[in-house]
Structure 1
Amino acid sequence: MSEWPLDQYDTNGFAVIEDFFTEEETNELRESGLELCKNAPENHRQTFSTKDAASHLKDDYFLSSANKIHYFYEDGALDGDGNLLVDKRVAINKIGHALHVLHSTFKKYTFDERVKNVAKKLGFKKPSIPQSMFIYKNPKIGGEVKPHQDATFLHTVPISITGFWIPTEDATLENGCLWFIKGSHKHGLDRRVVRNTNPNSNELLVFDNPPPKYSQDLFTPTPVKKGSLVIIHGLVVHQSESNRSNKSRLAYTFHVMETENVKYSPDNWLQLPEGEDFPKLF
């Protein structure tokens, strides 16, 4: 595993550690994601798209996934009745949000000592892990991810959310690598998604502000090799483009947050049932 300078993360809002996991370990993560995809249930199919980021949040299937493994399909993979328009192997957008709790392989690597060491270097004292996802970004159909900040969706006071993103295949310009606005984590939070308290609305979640406009000239592409770790500050603005190549871009990602003198916002979309807690990293 290569070293990474702390000032790179502090300056840019993200950092890349190459060779974080070995090729064998990375392949195990990849195969676990592919195996999950093969076993997708037939009884509930919901799309996931950031083109209209609030539309998919009307469904309780999404809101109830904090302690479950739920499947979300690509926009355009299903017809109006939920029938597949493409092969199931390339139809799924992501699976989440409790892989780190309920799946042995993802749990093993999420709580790996190398992950704990990075969290300690970042200054975490009592971190927990609220969510995890396996993201498929399948060839030809893999959807774009609009510019966003992770703290928009996972808010704490003060801000502490940090993404750990691990490509299990090379992430390239062609298949939809991440793009960042360097230093944007220093400019505060642009907006939040919160649970809707309006009883007369069918929207379960709403944005508290309109979408900000970011100039595409500000974004820097960040291709990375499989097995790397990309650390993502909760306030850094990032995106990824559609995958129109013939190669998939499979990745495993999870978020770490501080719990010492930090409050997890009660109006976040992701909430565990009463009496349950997010697992502690160490």
Structure 2
Amino acid sequence: MLTQEQIDRYEQDGFLVLQQLLTLDECRKLKIAVGQLIDNWEPDPVYSWIFLNDKDKQQARAQRMVALKDELSFGIEEEAIDPQTGKLNRDKHLSLNRIGLTLHNFHPEFNAVTFSDKIKAIVHDLKFIKPAIRQTMYIFKQPFIGAKVASHRDSTYVYNEPLKIVGIWIALEDATINNGCLWFIPGSNLKPTQRRYIRNPNQQEFNEGKVLIFTEEEQYDDSAFVPVEIKAGRIVE
């Protein structure tokens, strides 16, 4: 799948755009599959975390993330929740920011893509010996609503030693600067990770809800980011 020139570019910049991985029909099938999952999803009657302060919200989200790490979970945009009642204020299909975290375990269409020969070839070319799928997610960019996604590295949330992680992002629609394409700082992959989410080793604090410890903040130069616009079916890794 990858030429040596592409591998060198990936190692230098930290990201790489590849040509068509999926056909437009395959993209359509994945979108239909997500629609089916949402149809079968029954939202909780009340989202109590909406009433918490910002610090407690962060821990509440972390607690939920740890609890649902291997289950099908639906992430809801805060603006889609009525602050007076804690209930959805719009159609559930227009309320989500993501579905995860192991989507490949819950629908055959996503399983087929995740374990496809094309994906296997990519990670083989990047010299993974025993690659493992840690998470698969479907990301939404809803019209008119949506919290800002803070600048971050995936190694903040998914970490191993020695650090060797690759994210494969597939566009199911054309992604532009007007509808939420990815932005990167070329070469930032060469700097060590500073911010980590670490499972709290204090069992009592963990049981009381402080499930993660957040290490120091990462600092980014906003002027260094470059947008990566791609067509449907192509991938960024």
TM interval, shorter chain, is 0.7 to 0.9
Q: 1:156 to 1:2 in 2, by over 3 A?
A: closer
- Contact 2:79–2:146 (CA<8 Å) still a contact in 1? no
Which residue in the other structure is 2:13 paired with? 12
Alignment of 1:238-253 (within 5 A): none
Matched, 1:97 2:101: yes
2:60 to 58, 79, 82: 58
Superposition pairs of residues 133-212 of structure 1, within 5 angstroms: 133-198=137-202, 199-200=204-205, 202-209=209-216, 211-212=217-218
RMSD: 2.3
Which letter does structure 1 place at the counterpart of 2:82?
Answer: D
User: Which residue is 1:68 aligned to?
Assistant: 71
Determine if contact 1:2/1:19 at 8 Å carries over to the other structure. no
Q: Structure 1 unaligned runs (5+)?
A: 232-282
**Secondary structure in structure 1 of the residue aligned to 2:36:** helix
8 Å contact kept, 2:17–2:235: yes
**Sequence identity percentage:** 33
Determine if contact 2:181/2:227 at 8 Å carries over to the other structure: yes
- How big is the shift at 1:62? 2.2
Q: Does 1:31 align with 2:35?
A: no
CA distance in 2, matches of 1:111, 1:186: 28
Displacement after TM superposition at 1:36 (Å):
2.0
> Which residue does 1:244 correspond to in 2?
none
Instruction: Say whether 1:220 aligns with 2:226.
Output: yes
Cα–Cα, structure 1 residues 54 and 152, in superposed 2: closer, same or farther, change >3 Å?
farther
Which residue in 1 is equivalent to 2:114? 110
Deviation above 6 Å: which 4+ runs of structure 1? Answer: 1-4
- Please list the CA deviations of residues 220-262 of structure 1 after superposition, one character each: whole Å capped at 9, or x if unmatched: 011111111111xxxxxxxxxxxxxxxxxxxxxxxxxxxxxxx
Judged with a 3 Å threshold, the aligned counterparts in structure 2 of structure 1 residues 105 and 53 are, in CA distance, closer, same or farther, namely: farther
Shift in alpha-carbon separation, 1:53–1:129, aligned structure 2, 3 A: farther
The 2-side partners of 1:183 and 1:133 are apart by: 25
Question: 3-state DSSP class of the match of 1:14?
Answer: coil
More helix by share: 2
In terms of Rg, which structure is larger? 2
Q: Is the 8 A contact 1:2 1:20 kept in 2?
A: no
Q: When you count strand as a share of all residues, which structure comes out higher?
A: 1
Q: Provide the C-alpha distance between the structure 2 equivalents of 1:143 and 1:12, rounded to a whole number of angstroms.
A: 27
Count how many residue pairs are aligned between Structure 1 and Structure 2: 227
How far 1:77 sits from its partner (Å)?
A: 1.0
Structure 2: tracts of 5 or more residues without a match? none
For residues 151-183 of structure 1, the C-alpha deviation after alignment (integer angstroms, 9 at most, x for no partner) is 110110011121111111111100111100000
Compute the displacement of 1:196 (Å): 2.2
Deviation per CA, 1:52-85, whole angstroms, max 9, x where unpaired?
A: 6983442543212222111110021112443012
Query: What is the CA–CA distance in structure 1 between the aligned matches of 2:56 and 2:182, rounded to whole Å?
Result: 22
Helix, strand or coil at the partner of 2:135: strand
